[in-house]
Amino acid sequence: MPWYVVEYFSLIKGYKALQELWNYTGKPIVVAVDARGEVKNLNALHLIFVWGISAFPFGRDEEDMVTQHWNWFWIEAFKINDNIQKCVTQDNGYVFIYGGTDTTWTQRFGNHIESIKNDSIIEQTGTYIEHFNFAEAGIMTQTKFWFNITNSFLGKIQNVGINSTLKDIQTLLSMRTEKGWAIVSKGQNVLLIGFNEVMMNVVEGFKNWRTSISVSISFDVAFKNYYSDVSKNVPRQCLHFELKNIPSVPAALNCPDPACGLKMEIESVKYKCCHGMQHDEQATENGLVPIATGPFTATTEYVTSTPGSSKNKFTP
């Protein structure tokens, strides 16, 4: 994609007109104009900083599209920690949100991010980094988060079918039972969702890619390039997730991994009926009070595996 930059430090004809027309006050702006010369965005600079080429051609419609794409995640993430919302407003800021079933993994990952954050190259390039350990949130907070993400998934598959947003939700749901996972974002633009060995190797190997960070090569580009290199040397793992207490079994799903896309196997379906009783009613030894729940519910587990990978089964 070509970029045109005019380097001219003296006032030019039409300068005052541009001031009035585009509200130019001397600070850098990027005015997005279409092929017919119509202004689509008076200042797309912030949009370009955060979303890059994914927001092209940088009009208001594209801005609405990209910012709403991850709304389902940020609405819930902001509930985990109030500071997350403050951090993602940084134009040149990167946020790591991570968690997992293994507290040793999450603590180790956090220590590496803190070390990267304080590295001299980060300071020299004016890069802002913050991180949040989801595993440190209370059990109720975590449970509610995953419950709401699951509801987002069910709502999307019911109303709009398969799309990129749905695949992102699938990917996140697949992380729930992993020992470690992390989401990397630039502002509210989620750049990467990774887990286990690959993600840990990237932050542990920071010394191998830190020198590639410069004014011309941003932190996220260097991070994703090294992540891609590491991924090539690690066997791909299964993605699997479980949906509990749903009224019916959703349609067949494809693997959300862009490099795969195979149909996910339905590994198990569990049916349960408790004759209309509520969850808080307890069973007695003589069976006079039946065990719990409302009408028919189903639990479905999806799993995908690729050639050469081992199938990881989820045990509730």
Q: Report the candidate in 265, 261, 201 with the shortest Cα–Cα distance to residue 235.
A: 201
- Buried/exposed code over 77-110 (b: 16+ C-beta within 10 A; e: otherwise): beebbeebeebbebebbbbbbbbbeeeebbeebb
- Over the stretch 121-142, which tens digit does the pLDDT of each residue have? 998 888 899 999 999 998 999 9
Show the CA angle centred on residue 95, arms to residues 67 and 225, nearest 5°.
90
- Over the stretch 221-234, which tens digit does the pLDDT of each residue have? 999 999 999 998 88
Strands (E), 35-75: 39-41
Contact (CB, 8 A) for 276 and 295 = yes
> How much is the pLDDT for 291?
33
> How much is the pLDDT for 240?
77
- Over the stretch 142-161, which tens digit does the pLDDT of each residue have? 988 988 888 777 767 655 55
Confidence class of residue 255 from pLDDT cuts 50, 70 and 90?
A: confident
- Over the stretch 13-45, which tens digit does the pLDDT of each residue have? 766 777 777 777 767 778 888 888 888 887 777
pTM of the model: 0.67
Judged by DSSP in three states, 79 sits in: helix
Which conformational region is residue 28 in: left (phi greater than 0), alpha (psi within -120 to 50 degrees), or beta?
Answer: beta
Q: How confident is the prediction for the chain on average, in pLDDT?
A: 76
Domain ranges of the chain: 15-62, 70-231, 239-304
Centre a 10 Å sphere on the Cβ of residue 34 and count the other Cβ atoms it contains: 11
Is the pLDDT assigned to residue 53 strictly greater than 60?
Answer: yes
Amino acid at 223: F
Q: Identify the residue whose tokens are 């196997």.
A: 265
- Over the stretch 78-109, which tens digit does the pLDDT of each residue have? 888 889 988 887 666 899 999 999 999 999 99
Confidence class of residue 287 from pLDDT cuts 50, 70 and 90?
A: very low
> How much is the pLDDT for 292?
35
Contact (CB, 8 A) for 213 and 127 = yes
- Using only C-alpha atoms, the chain has a radius of gyration, in whole angstroms, of 24
Strands (E), the chain: 32-33, 39-41, 93-99, 128-133, 181-186, 189-195, 239-246, 265-272, 297-304
What is the DSSP code (8-state) at residue 303?
A: E
Q: What is the dihedral of CA 77, 80, 82, 86, to 10 degrees?
A: -30
